[in-house]
Amino acid sequence: MSRGAGSAGAAPVTVVDHPLVQHKLTMMRDRDRSTKGFRELLNEIGMLLAYEVTRDLPLEAISIETPIGPMEGRQIAGKKLVLAPILRAGVGFLDGMLSLMPSARVAHVGLYRDPDTLQAVEYYFKSPSDLADRTVLVLDPMLATANSAVAAVERLKSRGARDLRFVCLLAAPEGIAHFQAAHPDVPVWTASIDSHLNEHGYIVPGLGDAGDRMYGTR
């Protein structure tokens, strides 16, 4: 894991360079990967990223009895986390993360990127009402211009969220700079920082359109 990319003063960007993540990511990037394979890999990487993004969650002591005797164990403190996938492609992380955190709450953030303006357009939003008391993991495989991520975090903050973390698969340097300028308090986890954006706002080399590849809609 390497930390610290991004601008000074902003929360860190962590690149999860674990070999399993990098191996699976390369498989996903391959243009010949099937829809089924792409979806399975995104799900698996979601689990691995969940492990890293929750690494520093606070623990509290709890008294339990093992079959041999009493002990002081540890459990995650506070209220259950909220997973907030940005529709559609963010849903690809959800099952993997929920298999590790089965009691997490889910906030759905429906946004699409207008292909001409590249601005994020909201079409759906539903979240738990007590976001202020919970850690929120915002999920989207792609941080390109960051217009979608910035809008999603703004929306969640407007509903009270204060402790947010953004999780993606690929990030463009331009997207990281935009996101950190808008939300310097929100740390980012990604499996890769790619080269740049092309003239259509796609990440290069990237993996193409994540939603289309996940759902076979192209």
Q: Which two tokens stand for residue 69?
A: 């005797």
Instruction: Assess contact for 45 and 100: CB atoms under 8 A.
Output: no
In the shown chain, the binding pattern of residues 115 to 154 toward ligand PRP, with x for contact by CB under 6 A and - for none, equals ---x-x-------------------xxxxxxxxxx-----
Residue 203's binding partner out of ligand PRP, ligand URA, none, with CB under 5 to 8 Å set by partner kind: ligand URA
For 125, the 3-state DSSP assignment is: strand
17: alpha, beta or left? (left if phi > 0; alpha if psi -120 to 50): alpha
Of 6 and 206, which has the nearer Cβ to ligand URA? 206
Closest CA to 165 of 13, 20, 35: 13
- The question of whether 209 is a catalytic residue gets the answer yes
Q: Is 39 helix (H, G, I), strand (E, B) or coil?
A: helix
Residue of the chain from 112, 125, 202, 215 that contacts ligand URA (CB under 6 A): 202
* 3 belongs to the catalytic site: no
Length reported for the chain: 218
User: What would the x/- binding string for ligand PRP be over residues 173 to 202, using CB under 6 A?
Assistant: --x-------------------------x-
Catalytic annotation, pick one of 3, 74, 114, 117: 117
CA dist 81 and 102 (Å) reads 10
Report the distance separating Cα 162 and Cα 186, nearest Å.
Answer: 9
Check: CB of residue 186 under 8 Å from CB of residue 165. Answer: yes
Smaller CB distance to ligand PRP: residue 125 or 133? 125
Select from ligand URA, ligand PRP, none the partner in contact with residue 202, using the beta carbon and a kind-dependent cut-off of 5 to 8 Å. ligand URA
Radius of gyration over every alpha carbon of the chain, rounded to an integer in angstroms = 18
- Asked whether position 139 contacts ligand URA by CB under 6 A, the answer is no
Residue at token pair 């989207």: 140
**CB 152, CB 84: distance < 8 Å:** yes
Residue 105: active-site member: no
Taking residues 144 to 173 in sequence order and writing x for each that binds ligand URA by CB under 6 A, - otherwise, the string is: x-----------------------------
The reply to whether 142 sits near ligand URA by the rule CB under 6 A is yes
Binding site for ligand PRP (CB under 6 A): 86-89, 112-113, 118, 120, 140-149, 175, 201, 209-211
Q: What are the residue numbers of the active site? A: 113, 117, 209, 212
Binding site for ligand URA (CB under 6 A): 142, 144, 201-203, 206, 209-211
